[in-house]
Amino acid sequence: MQTLRRKDMLGLEEVSAEEINLILETSRSMREIMQRKIKKVPTLRGRSVLNLFYEPSTRTKASFELAQKYMSSDSVSVTGSSSSLVKGETLKDTVRNVEIMGIECVIMRHPASGSSHYLAHNVEASVINAGDGMHEHPTQGLLDMFTIWEKKGRLENLKVTIVGDIRHSRVARSNLWGLQKMGAEVVVSGPPTLMPPDLDAFGVKYYHDLEEAAEGADVVMALRLQKERQESGLFPSMREYAELYGVTPQKITRAREDLLIMHPGPMNRGIEISSELADGPHSVVLEQAASGVAVRMALLYLLLGGTKEQ
């Protein structure tokens, strides 16, 4: 049985297309387990996982915890408010102390870019990045790809339009790397002030005009807009943003008929995405959440190197 030949999952930039394929294939088996009446396999029985969340999270945290339960691993969750961070303990000390208790895998969300690299460097446990600052959120990228792959049967030669705050988005970065590795074409749209300083670094095309960006798109993905970006002067107002860059049916008329509408959540309805689309027939927003559990089960399995027998 194949496993991932790596200790950590820190970002999709450093993962190969073969590895992504393996994760997607494995996720499909995991998806099948989730559809059973008794959603539990003993695969990771006796294995210990730490969920360490230095930032608030509902979806990702619930998704990881459920994935762990369905795989029968033992897990503890530590969140920002209860963590020793507030007591002045360093990240390294915190994790080393828990690691010595027998933790083999750490799932971490952290506000600082690169913090998962730092952690991976300092512990023997596998580290899964659940979002580090503005850097990457690889499991989100994987679950987005899995959702598309399940719906379309492929990723190759699909056109994916990502709209919004690419600059500060770890979700966007993971998707940009992952989707392109799998042969999809990715274009981005949004205000210039919300684009990374060097978009060429990712090899994607930028369109100021959303209608143009969505031309022939198989997938349109809206990103969450943080209120603080407006406060720091990157665009004038939420209503202007909604008018220019909010994903609405009117702006994506040139997309393909079998278009998928995606959003990593949580959504600001009426700002970056209209409810009409979020709840409409093209939306796969809820499927994304379900995919999340399957992908995380697959990743835990592949990193902790469990056996295939269930």
Partner 1 sequence: MKQLIIKGGRVIDPACNYDRAADVLLKDSLVEKIEPGLEAPADAVIIEAEGLIVTPGLIDIHVHLRDPGQEYKEDIHSGTRAAAAGGFTALAAMANTDPVGDDPAMIGYIRKKAAGAAARVYPLGALTKGLAGKEMAELGRMKFAGAAGFSDDGKPVMNGMLMRNALHYASGIGAVVIAHEEDLHLAAGGMMHEGTVSSILGLRGIPSVAEEAMISRDLMILKITGGRLHIAHVSTAGSVDLLRRAKAEGLNVTAEVTPHHLLLTDRLVKNSGYNTSTKVNPPLRTEHDRQALWKGLLDGTIDAIASDHAPHHTDDKDVEYDFAPCGIAGLETTLPLMLDELASGRIKGFTLPLLLEKLSSAPARILDLPGGSLKQGSPADVTVIDPERQFIIEPDKWYSKSRNTPFAGKRVKGAPVFTVVGGEITMKEGVVTERTAQG
Residues that bind partner 1 (CB under 8 A): 13, 90-92, 110-115, 117-118, 121, 132-136, 170, 173, 196-202
Quick one: 68 or 94, whose CB is closer to partner 1?
A: 94
Q: From CA 89, how far away is CA 93, in angstroms rounded?
A: 6
Quick one: 88 or 153, whose CB is closer to partner 1?
A: 88
User: Minimal distance in Å, beta carbon 95 to partner 1?
Assistant: 12
Q: From CA 154, how far away is CA 11, in angstroms rounded?
A: 22
Question: Pick from 132, 99, 67: which is nearest to 78 by CA?
Answer: 99
Quick one: 186 or 277, whose CB is closer to partner 1?
A: 186
Q: From CA 238, how far away is CA 271, in angstroms rounded?
A: 7
User: Minimal distance in Å, beta carbon 303 to partner 1?
Assistant: 18
Q: Is the dihedral of CA 177, 123, 50, 115 positive or negative?
A: negative
User: Minimal distance in Å, beta carbon 234 to partner 1?
Assistant: 11
User: Minimal distance in Å, beta carbon 193 to partner 1?
Assistant: 12
Quick one: 92 or 154, whose CB is closer to partner 1?
A: 92
Q: From CA 184, how far away is CA 32, in angstroms rounded?
A: 26
User: Minimal distance in Å, beta carbon 296 to partner 1?
Assistant: 21
User: Minimal distance in Å, beta carbon 188 to partner 1?
Assistant: 12
What crossing angle do the helices spanning 91-99 and 115-122 adopt, rounded to 10°? 40
262 and 268 Cβ atoms separated by less than 8 Å: no
DSSP string covering 200-257, please? Answer: GGGT-EEESSHHHHTTT-SEEEEPPPPHHHHHTTSSS-HHHHHHHH-B-GGGGTTS-T
Tokens of 235: 């665009």
Quick one: 100 or 201, whose CB is closer to partner 1?
A: 201
Quick one: 112 or 289, whose CB is closer to partner 1?
A: 112
User: Minimal distance in Å, beta carbon 110 to partner 1?
Assistant: 7
Quick one: 112 or 244, whose CB is closer to partner 1?
A: 112
Q: From CA 6, how far away is CA 304, in angstroms rounded?
A: 10
For residue 138, say if its preceding peptide bond is cis, omega within 30 degrees of 0: no
User: Minimal distance in Å, beta carbon 125 to partner 1?
Assistant: 17
Quick one: 234 or 238, whose CB is closer to partner 1?
A: 234
Q: From CA 275, how far away is CA 267, in angstroms rounded?
A: 9
